[in-house]
Amino acid sequence: MKVPGRAPRGWGFARVPNPESRIPRGVARTFRSAACSTYLRIGLGIVALFLAQACGPKPASAPATFFPETNEVPGWSKGETRTFEADRLWEYIDGDANRYLEAGVLRTLATDYRYGEKVEAVADIYVMKTPEGARKIFDSESSVGSQPIQIGDAARVFQSSLAFRNGPYFVRLVAYQEVPEVGKALVELGHAIEQKLGERQ
């Protein structure tokens, strides 16, 4: 006998009504369609993310440096590198910055070097907007007491300094001590810097 409000005898489980049984069929189909569409978009998004990570561009390698590292050129040890943007060039060459600015300098990099235990030197690289700007600076430098050498587009070496241009770069190496072998050592360092600059062009 059935008692109102009680579950029928047998397994003892009350029948759980289907929530959708109280929802019109058209509305239920709309809910199911919207849910499937949401899950599909999420799935496609996850697949697209994995594909982007697997097939996307690899991280770029670190750019080549302008300056040779320690012992990359025999006898030379590399020190600190400082960078001066065009509007700060006066901090490095106060009184002569306008000449470089008029020629179109973008930035200047200065690196300290040491040759053995005898010579301290500095290597300056002026990055110009165009090769014409580098030529303008090179031609404005005095050539008295120098000898032309084959480095870059044009070069000259003095007893304790070296200057050359290579594309949009003007380079100057200056040794603070004068010893017999310093000229040859500067030329070797200059060739190594020329090679580094070639990798950047």
Contact 194, 166 (CB under 8 A): yes
Q: Is the pLDDT of residue 109 over 60?
A: yes
Distance CA 27, CA 37 (A): 15
User: What are the pLDDT digits (tens) for 5-38?
Assistant: 444 444 444 454 555 445 455 544 544 555 555 5
Secondary structure of residue 117 in the 3-state scheme: coil
Determine the residue type at 108: T
Contact 123, 189 (CB under 8 A): yes
Please give the pLDDT value at position 33: 54
DSSP H/E element including 41: helix 25-55
Determine the residue type at 115: Y
The domains found in the chain, sorted by start residue, are: 76-200 (3.40.1000)
Q: Is the pLDDT of residue 52 over 50?
A: no
Q: Is the pLDDT of residue 4 over 70?
A: no
User: What are the pLDDT digits (tens) for 143-154?
Assistant: 999 999 999 999
pTM: 0.68
Computed over every residue of the chain, the mean pLDDT equals 80
Please give the pLDDT value at position 26: 54
Please give the pLDDT value at position 63: 43
